[in-house]
Amino acid sequence: MKRKKIDFGGGVTAESNAFLAPLAGYTDFAFRGICAEFGEAVTCTEMVSCKGLMYGSENTKALLLTHPSEKVKAVQIFGEDRDVMRAACESEFLAPFDLIDVNMGCPVPKLYRNGEGSALLNDLKKAEGILSACVRSGKNITVKTRIGLHRGGPYVTAEFARMAEGAGVKAITVHGRVREDYYAGEPVYEEIAAAKNAVTVPVIANGGIFTAEDADRMMEKTGADGVMIARGALDRPWLFAELNGTPAEADVRALMLRHLGALREQFGDRYAAVNFRKMIPHYLKFFPGAKPMRMRLMTAESTKETENLLDEFFSSHSPVLSNRI
């Protein structure tokens, strides 16, 4: 994949065109910091509820933590009330972020029932009103969407892209699947290409990217300006180094300990040990015979217990993986 800078305007430029997708429950500040160290250029928070933010939810505010390694910092917001969303954009809570990304693609039923996320593809006029309101905040606004709601169409990708550009967004990320597919199946490359051909702002392609070869295929078939990687980054955060042409070996033990330590420092020992469990299957995915240790790590009650188990496991497994794995 050819590396290039992405200019979002407003003085915000990404040094490369491989980005980490916001993943609810996973892309916390600690994991984003690790991806940034491997060269990921734009780091984005997990989805943040605008209503939760404006109502002062402490859990929502915790999602806004950042890591010193992050370069261009983005926050992803969701909602369906344009006034509340503009107020969130203008709030002090989002002031530290270079980009504000509006989610108009999340497929989960709760958001869909509330008229949020991908439900906004049912009403592009309302979606336009939200984006225009957010742009009027004076912040750098981007948007993430899907190609449509149902298999076989109708697809709204090009129409949505033109609407979003007209509303003033700085870039558009297109997940090349429909809502009912969630995260399964091959992306519809032609629809991402349709978005790219419809606008002049950068278009970032998302969906089904787990390897450098996947990224090459996505760029070749869509003509997109860059790629956004979701689940593939959970298993291989060092993928960003490969995509940027700076291959790096990954010391998985060191990555795990850094991630765990960052959580402990911010939230305390018990929270860190329990919260870290969800990352264990991803970090240990490429180690043969790791299942028994994964099961033991999933019941660890303290960070010390987690660290001792990792010492035990890596005493018989080399922690270093090639970036090509």
Q: What angle do the packed helices 212-222 and 189-198 form, to 10 degrees?
A: 50
Query: Pick from 231, 12, 40: which is nearest to 101 by CA?
Result: 12
Kindly write down the DSSP assignment for every residue of 214-283, as one continuous string: HHHHHHHHH--SEEEESHHHHH-TTHHHHHTT----EEHHHHHHHHHHHHHHHH-HHHHHHHHGGGHHHH
236 contact partners, CB below 8 Å, separation of at least 6 = 210, 250, 325
51 contact partners, CB below 8 Å, separation of at least 6 = 79, 81, 84
How buried is residue 274: exposed, middle or buried, by Cβ count under 10 Å (0-12/13-18/19+)? middle
- Residues (pLDDT < 70) of the chain are 322-325
Report the number of distinct structural domains present in the chain: 2
46-to-8, 165, 239, 249 alpha-carbon distances in Å: 20, 24, 20, 27
Predicted pLDDT of residue 323: 57
Residues 256 and 299 in one domain: yes
Residues 176 and 307 in one domain: no
Query: Pick from 304, 309, 256, 257: which is nearest to 284 by CA?
Result: 256
Residues 227 and 269 in one domain: no
CATH number at residue 18: 3.20.20.70
Whole-structure pTM value: 0.94
Residues 163 and 279 in one domain: no
Which residue's entry shows tokens 């929270």? 271
Does residue 57 fall inside a structural domain? Answer: yes
14-to-86, 205, 247 alpha-carbon distances in Å: 24, 16, 19
Residues 231 and 295 in one domain: no
Residues 300 and 186 in one domain: no
Quick: pLDDT tens for 129-141. 999 999 999 999 9
Whether the bond into 288 is cis, omega within 30 of 0: no
Last residue of a domain, one of 222, 243, 264: 243
**Catalytic pick among 35, 44, 106, 134:** 106
* Domain with 75 in it: 6-243
Residues 237 and 270 in one domain: no
Predicted pLDDT of residue 150: 94
Quick: pLDDT tens for 209-262. 999 999 999 999 999 999 999 999 999 999 999 998 887 788 999 999 999 999
Q: To the nearest 10°, report the CA torsion of 215, 221, 227, 228.
A: -90
Query: Which residues pair with residue 49 across a beta bridge?
Result: 78
Residues 56 and 22 in one domain: yes
Phi-psi region of 9 (alpha: psi -120 to 50; beta: other; left: phi over 0): left
- Contact (Cβ atoms closer than 8 angstroms) between residue 202 and residue 6: yes
Residues 239 and 256 in one domain: no
Q: Is 35 a catalytic residue?
A: no
Residues 161 and 263 in one domain: no
Predicted pLDDT of residue 2: 86
Long-range contacts of 275-283 (CB under 8 A, 24+ apart): 276/303, 276/306, 278/25, 278/26, 279/26, 279/31, 279/234, 282/234, 282/235, 283/252, 283/255, 283/256
Kindly write down the DSSP assignment for every residue of 198-216, as one continuous string: H-SS-EEEESS--SHHHHH
Gap between the Cα atoms of 83 and 86, Å rounded: 5
CATH number at residue 273: 1.10.1200.80
